[in-house]
Structure formats: structure tokens, C-alpha cells
Structure 1
Amino acid sequence: MPSTESDAGTLASSLHRSILGFGLAVLGILGVGLARQLLTGEYLVGVAGVGIALGAGYWILSLFLEGLHDR
């Protein structure tokens, strides 16, 4: 079934998802770094880091699934 979107629109959407995914990956890595503070007793920072890492991971997964759906 041919797509109703143009190739340029598909490319732009894919590029947008990849840039957003890269930024979220960096944010997730920073969140994991903050989550390591749980081991040193910094519970507020550690819990915030866990939340950031899980949120970024969930958003990356949703971007991946959106890309598969658009395909």
C-alpha cells in the first residue's frame, strides 16, 4: 500500500525522531549517573535520577514504536 506522505516528509519525521532520541539518550545517561547517588545516601537526587532515566527510556521506546508504526 503506497504511503500518502511524501518521501521528504518521511525523512523529516525520521530525522526528528533520531535527534530527539539522541537527546533523550544523553538525558537518560545523566539520569543513571544521578541514580548512582542512591549508593552514597543522596536519596532525593538518586530518586530523581531514577525517574529521569526511566522516563527517558520510556520515551525512547515510544519513539521506536512510533517509527515502526509509520513504516
Structure 2
Amino acid sequence: MTNNHSVWTIERMRGLGVTTDVVTAGSILGIGRTTAYQLARTGAFPVPVLRAGNKYLVAVAHLLDAIGAEK
């Protein structure tokens, strides 16, 4: 989980690994926790989301693409 006041650098995003949870992905994109879950549930999250059991996962590569960073 992340602190809403965290600064997300490209290096820090890459340090997350291959995937991250939807709350962290939302934080990177400036989306709050509740809204991130709502968007994930309805298929409206700004990047593709994978549902694994009761978790929502987001590929870090998709987040890097969304902010225009080189992978």
C-alpha cells in the first residue's frame, strides 16, 4: 500500500516489479482508493486490470505506458 502523499518516480515504479495492486496503480495515476476499486470493478480503470481471486492487479508496464515513460 502507498501513502497518498508519495512521489512516484519512474525508478520507483519500476521497483514495484511486474505487477502492483489497484490502489498503488491508482495512486500513481492520481486516483483515490475508492474510485480505483470502482473503476476496476466496472472495467473503466485507465489501464488494463487483471482480477486474481479477490485482488485486482495492474501491470507496471501499462502504468509506464500511461504516463509516457520508456520501459
TM class by smaller structure: under 0.3
When Rg is computed on C-alpha atoms for both structures, the one with the higher figure is: 1
Q: As a proportion of its length, which structure holds more helix?
A: 1
Normalised by the size of structure 2, how large is the TM-score?
0.25
Question: TM-score if structure 1 supplies the norm length?
Answer: 0.25
**Structure having the larger proportion of residues in strand:** 2
